[in-house]
Amino acid sequence: MAHSKNSDTITTLSRRERQVMDILYARGEATAVEIHSAIADPPSFSATRALIRTLEEKGHISHAEQGLRYVYFPSIPADKVKSSALKHLLTTFFKGSPTELMAAMLDDSATKISDAELEALESLLRKARSSEQ
């Protein structure tokens, strides 16, 4: 039986469960075969099926029948999980500091931030600053 879970429980998943959820959030939906092939260093296929079943029992994913196969998708919309995931990232890796997070993103040479994105960030900072006053 599926249990309703809130978005805060996404951070309490095991590493393998998070991998499955990451795949489903990135793709929107996937079959068990697609999930299994997308997992880095995957467990056995039966273990992947067990992960999927567990996540469904916990209420994190649902499925729809498409022909002879099940297609799985997240039960909790990404926008609801986003806030919880970001808070977890901030507290775990950046001491709760948005400044440290932004500095890491801006210093990361692998992250290319366009001029338009920088302008959008500047606009958000101006808006945040004016709402504090």
Confidence of residue 109 (pLDDT cuts 50, 70, 90): low
Span 110-123, pLDDT tens digits: 678 888 988 998 99
- Measured from the Cβ of residue 118, the count of other Cβ atoms closer than 10 Å reads 11
Q: How far apart are CA 56 and CA 3, in angstroms?
A: 9
18: containing domain = 7-78
Mean pLDDT of 16-32: 95
Whether 19 and 65 share a structural domain: yes
Q: How far apart are CA 127 and CA 30, in angstroms?
A: 39
Among 40-49, 54-63, 91-100, the least confident range: 91-100
Whether 11 and 51 share a structural domain: yes
- At residue 3, the pLDDT reads 42
Largest CA distance in the chain: 59
Whether 73 and 31 share a structural domain: yes
Whether 32 and 66 share a structural domain: yes
- At residue 120, the pLDDT reads 92
Whether 53 and 104 share a structural domain: no
Taking the whole predicted model, whether its pTM rises above 0.95 is answered as: no
CA nearest 27: which of 17, 38, 16, 15?
38
* Assigned domain for 123 exists: yes
* Assigned domain for 71 exists: yes
Q: H helices then E strands: how many in the chain?
A: 6, 2
Percent of the chain with pLDDT over 90: 55
